[in-house]
Amino acid sequence: MSEAGPPAKPTHFLRALIEQDLAAGTWDGRRFGGSPGDAAHHAAGPVDPARIRTRFPPEPNGYLHIGHAKSICLNFGLARDYGGICHLRFDDTNPEKEEQEYVDAIVEMVRWLGFDWEAGGSSHLYHASDYFDFMYLAAERLVERGLAYVDEQTPEQMRASRGDFATPGTASPFRDRAPADNLARLREMRDGRHADGAMVLRAKIDMASPNLNLRDPAIYRIKHARHHATGDRWCIYPMYTYAHPIEDALEGITHSLCTLEFEDQRPFYDWLLERLAEPATLPDGRELAPMLRRPLPRQIEFGRLNLTYVITSKRRLKALVDDGIVSGWDDPRMPTLAGLRRRGYTPAAIRQMADDTGASKTNIWVDHAVLEGALRADLEGKARRAMAVLDPLPLVLTNWAEVFGSATHLEPCSAPAHPQRPELGARRFHLGPEVWIEREDFAVDPPKGYHRLVPPRMQPDGTTAPGGRVRLKYGYVAECTGFDRADDGGVARVHARIVPDTKSGTPGADAVKVKGTIGWVAACDAMPATVHLYEHLFTEPQPDAGGRDPREVLNPASLRSVQAWVEPSLAGIEAETHVQFERHGYFVADRREHAPGHAVFNRTTTLKDGRGR
Ligand code: ATP
Ligand code: MG
């Protein structure tokens, strides 16, 4: 190839928009005061070294879920790709539902996904509650300019006078109150002189606007509630739609990416920021400088990510936790990042899924298999291998003493820790006279085409067909000679003979051909383990479709726990280690319960799509 070709086409519309902005120099030369602040603060700072600024603004009222991961990957990813900075901002304007526990969990999960907010020697982790003073001052400014008023109607009256799509709203009797009276009232609200719900501050825009969000939206309400960060300092709190644009502007955000449901809020977003960024003259002649600097942030909406078999509403996820349907926010069946992590999902797989699904102007449903595919692709190269028997049946090798000269002999075996990664070395374990095999690897009445252990059988012609032969993986060929029945009629134990000189890796290994290879672990050194086998939490791909309560479609088989035997090479592994149990799938040592001497594994996913999920 000679010269670089034409620039690669942006993979989605957000990239295209940012590239246009960068090409047009839309954001060039704007200043950044080193921290969030008002117009004067930024004007005094140097030119912003960040070419763009984005932000991920969770409300700390729950744990992050896979939908948030999409937003995190977009915001942090775009900032990284275009020489920008992404802020982590806690949108903590709603005191009652927010908690420090959630704040901490969010920080941990964004880091876990592989992103951070340190840039240019400073940390860009912010809290909307840090801006309460500014937000309040801005509210007073709107009141003084006659752009906001205190409405003392009841909530019902307000709702009724708002009108609907077909009917314009009607003005509140308080709409034309004088700015000085409104200001006094607002200060009373702030000073705790009124009860919750007694009045609200509303922006004065247009009661006849076809956009209902412009019909004098509430911007401050009274809430005598303790805030997890500001304590009892405030008893009025800004509404989200008022707070959010201000947060973006104070932080110098260039591209404020949000989900589609905020599209109708954009006119208010722009209205508010324009009012606060324009100079103003008060009725008494006072000249006021702009409170916010330009250029103003721009809100851009993209479609939500929905994943099949999963719900992504914090409220609904919380109900699962509160009802005890799952063990907590990090239950491995939860689509929270904490749950996915515990299940064994990797940050790389989640980021890959986010990249692969791009961004569009419609809400999208992504098949859960897409995420699992990305996960398998990541784990294939990472996960060490081991044998595990999840549904154990004893197999006795009856000619052991004969073949090895001693009933107590243990035969050393080895296997690569990873078939494509010799640098990871070998796993070592023993074969002994008693081993555990998978119950499904033995059949008294085998179905057609079954190539594993079957007992010798009488044929119609009176002769006896020999028992089935299999290779005990990494060990010897064994031939079934019979089995014992348990009292309940099931199979208690299988008998087999070792075929001498057939050990894997020796010249005789190929002398005897077998059609089946089975996993095993020897009773002499197998390690007991609790294994949790997970499936989707819901039986329906769209659990909350049409407003259905997802609790109506719970999958009763979403968790099955078994007592398994696993290879001794897993004895020292740490929690969160990924392992491929050969033939069974990918598993992870549980980060909460796994400990030395107490092995606990979660099935992350099966080896192939659609099996046993
Ligand atoms: P929930 O409805 O679960 O409470 P939310 O959107 O209210 O979610 P926030 O904490 O406000 O949760 O969200 C933080 C950011 O994550 C927002 O910018 C929001 O748009 C984005 N986000 C949330 N869910 C999704 C999703 N499913 N797909 C893409 N982005 C999402
Ligand atoms: Mg929200």
Q: 333: phi > 0 → left, psi -120 to 50 → alpha, else beta; which?
A: alpha
Q: Whose CA is nearest to atom 26 of ligand 1?
A: 67
Residue 317 CA: nearest ligand 1 atom is: 3
The residue among 463, 473, 467, 362 whose CA lies nearest residue 415 is 473
Task: Decide if 576 is catalytic.
Answer: no
Compute the average pLDDT of residues 1-18.
76
pLDDT at 1: 40
What is d(CA 120, CA 49) in angstroms, rounded to the nearest whole number?
Answer: 8
pLDDT digits (tens, 9 = 90+) for 499-508: 999 999 998 8
Name which of 6-15, 302-311, 487-496 the model is least confident about. Answer: 6-15
pLDDT at 2: 43
Contact 230, 105 (CB under 8 A): no
What is d(CA 536, CA 311) in angstroms, rounded to the nearest whole number?
Answer: 11
pLDDT category, 392, cuts 50, 70, 90? very high
Name which of 2-6, 330-334, 421-425, 574-578 the model is least confident about. Answer: 2-6
pLDDT digits (tens, 9 = 90+) for 316-343: 999 999 999 999 999 999 999 999 999 9
Q: Whose CA is nearest to atom 15 of ligand 1?
A: 58
What is d(CA 377, CA 165) in angstroms, rounded to the nearest whole number?
Answer: 49
Which ligand has an atom closest to residue 110 CA?
1
> Mean pLDDT over all residues of the chain?
95
Contact 14, 359 (CB under 8 A): yes
pTM for this structure? 0.93
* Angle made by CA atoms 11, 15, 18, in degrees to the nearest 5: 160
Measured in Å, residue 313 CA sits from the centre of ligand 1 at: 8
pLDDT digits (tens, 9 = 90+) for 407-443: 999 999 999 999 999 999 999 999 999 999 999 999 9
pLDDT at 96: 85
Residues 6+ apart with CB under 8 A from 68: 56, 58, 337
Which ligand has an atom closest to residue 306 CA?
1
What is d(CA 602, CA 581) in angstroms, rounded to the nearest whole number?
Answer: 11
Task: Decide if 108 is catalytic.
Answer: no
- Whether cis (ω within 30° of 0) applies to the bond prior to 295 is yes
Measured in Å, residue 500 CA sits from the centre of ligand 2 at: 67
pLDDT at 216: 98
**Cβ-defined contacts of 537-541 (< 8 Å, 24+):** 537/309, 537/310, 537/320, 537/326, 537/333, 537/334, 538/309, 538/310, 538/311, 540/309, 541/308, 541/309, 541/368
pLDDT at 7: 62
Three-state SS at 546: helix
pLDDT category, 240, cuts 50, 70, 90? very high
Measured in Å, residue 261 CA sits from the centre of ligand 2 at: 11
Kindly tell me if the per-residue pLDDT of 6 is higher than 70: no
Measured in Å, residue 244 CA sits from the centre of ligand 1 at: 14
pLDDT at 98: 78
pLDDT category, 492, cuts 50, 70, 90? very high
Mutate to test the pocket of ligand 1, among 74, 127, 244, 259 (most ligand atoms within 8 A of CB): 259
The residue among 587, 529, 524, 483 whose CA lies nearest residue 389 is 529
The residue among 302, 328, 350, 297 whose CA lies nearest residue 52 is 297
- DSSP state for residue 8 in the 8-state scheme: P
* C-alpha distances out from residue 35 to 44, 79, 118, 408, Å: 11, 17, 12, 72
pLDDT at 4: 53
pLDDT digits (tens, 9 = 90+) for 86-134: 999 999 999 888 788 999 999 999 999 999 999 888 999 999 999 999 9
pLDDT at 109: 97
List residues bridging with 493 in a β-sheet: 484
Compute the average pLDDT of residues 175-204.
98
Contact 506, 491 (CB under 8 A): no
* C-alpha distances out from residue 412 to 103, 372, 432, 469, Å: 51, 36, 9, 21
Percent pLDDT > 90 in the chain is 93
- DSSP state for residue 40 in the 8-state scheme: H
